[in-house]
Amino acid sequence: MPRPLDEANRAQLIDRVLEDVLAHGIGSLSLRPLAKRIGVSAAALLYNFTSKEELTIAILKRAGDRQRALFETIRSQEHLTPYEVCAEIWRAVSTKEMIPLFRLFFEVYGLALQDRERFPDFFAGAIERWLAFIAIAFERSGAKKRDARLVATMLLAGFRGLMLDLCATGDFARVNGAANVWLQSLNIFHAPARATR
71 or 95, which is more confident? Answer: 95
Output DSSP code: residue 8: H
24 or 39, which is more confident? Answer: 39
User: Tens digit of pLDDT for each residue in 74-86?
Assistant: 878 877 777 788 8
Mean pLDDT for 17-39 is 84
* Residue 6, CA distances (Å) to 3, 37, 92, 123 in order: 9, 22, 32, 27
Distance CA 61, CA 125 (A): 7
- Closest C-alpha among 92, 122, 124 to residue 107: 122
Mean pLDDT for 21-50 is 85
Dihedral over alpha carbons 63, 69, 71, 73 (to 10 degrees): -160
pLDDT(58) > 70: yes
Express as a percent the part of the chain with pLDDT over 70.
Answer: 91
Domains in the chain, please, with CATH?
Answer: 7-185 (1.10.357.10)
- Closest C-alpha among 40, 80, 81 to residue 49: 40
Name the band, by pLDDT with cuts 50, 70 and 90, for residue 124.
Answer: confident
pTM of the model as a whole: 0.76
Residues 44, 45, 46, 50, CA torsion sign: positive
